Amino acid sequence: MNDVRTIVILTGAGISAESGLATFRGPGGLWEGHRVEDVCTPEALARDPALVHRFYDLRRAALREVAPNAAHLALARLDADWAGELLIVTQNVDDLHERAGASRLLHMHGELTSALCAGCEARVRWPDPLPPGAACASCGAPALRPDIVFFGEMPYEMERIERALAGCDLFVSIGTSGAVYPAAGFVQLANHYGARTLELNLEPSGGSGWFDESRMGAASVLVPAWVEEILR
């Protein structure tokens, strides 16, 4: 891969699984114990804010019990050592990439450690439990909600992501089932613009057929091996 200069990486819940955070789909997944419509839609927030806030409070608290694993650390090493352009786009709302040291990073589905004002759209750091009706420091409205992109809402920074996909030589997808758009369509977009595409996942995903190459296994093994290979 000597000709690679510009890399876009997409990560999903599978990269944090070995740190002890549940993925969404499959046995024991978050969406097995909860109906998406109850905790991850604007309608759910309007209907039962206490339930939605409690769901994300528990997940925010769980971050304190976990640490980045070898896959997060390998991507942070790539971020530090890669001389070309790099963008890590994560669907994850945990903070394990940044705690590992990655900085060329964006959270397209929001962040557990941040709150969003439903009134003025200000985003503020929020490490603690978030009670419904907490006031926004910018506009004063009692409208702070979890800074999570709910189903039916537009993910963050789509223009920047699409620009990066259009200009990259290599697109790598790690630990995602390819079940949720627009992220699930990034491989097709990257293909369309002529990038090589590589998937690193525990098992074949919804998007596997689109990748030039798919490697199956645990992220903590596959990601450090691939980073070693690309930096060589």
Other Cβ atoms within 10 Å of 175 Cβ, number? 27
Q: How far is the C-alpha of 111 from the C-alpha of 212, rounded, in Å?
A: 31
- Give the residue from 87, 47, 57 showing the smallest Cα distance to 186: 87
The encoded tokens of residue 156 equal 């963050």
* Residues 158-197: x where in contact with ligand OAD by CB under 6 A, - otherwise, as a string: -----------------xxx-xx-----------------
- Give the residue from 161, 168, 229, 156 showing the smallest Cα distance to 197: 168
Is 117 marked as a binding-site residue? yes
| DSSP at 207 | T
Q: How far is the C-alpha of 157 from the C-alpha of 159, rounded, in Å?
A: 6
DSSP states of 138-161: TT--S-EEEEE--TTSPPTTHHHH
Q: Whole-number minimum distance, CB 140 to ligand OAD, in Å?
A: 28
Other Cβ atoms within 10 Å of 42 Cβ, number? 14
Q: Using CB under 6 A, which residues numbered 110 to 129 contact ligand OAD? A: none
Select 24 or 226, whichever has its Cβ closest to ligand OAD. Answer: 24
DSSP states of 165-200: HHH-SEEEEES--S-STTGGGHHHHHHHTT-EEEEE
Q: Whole-number minimum distance, CB 3 to ligand OAD, in Å?
A: 27
Interaction of residue 100 with ligand OAD, rule CB under 6 A: no
Is 21 strand, coil or helix? coil
* Residues 3-22: x where in contact with ligand OAD by CB under 6 A, - otherwise, as a string: ---------xxx--xx----
State the catalytic residues.
109
Query: Which position among 7, 45, 91, 115 is part of the footprint of ligand OAD (CB under 6 A)?
Result: 91
Is 130 marked as a binding-site residue? no
Query: Which position among 201, 207, 210, 224 is part of the footprint of ligand OAD (CB under 6 A)?
Result: 201
Annotated binding site: 12-31, 56, 59, 91-94, 117, 120, 136, 139, 175-177, 201-203, 219
Annotated binding site for substrate: 56, 59
* Residues in contact with ligand OAD by the rule CB under 6 A: 12-14, 17-18, 23-25, 29, 40, 91, 109, 149, 175-177, 179-180, 201-203, 205, 218-219
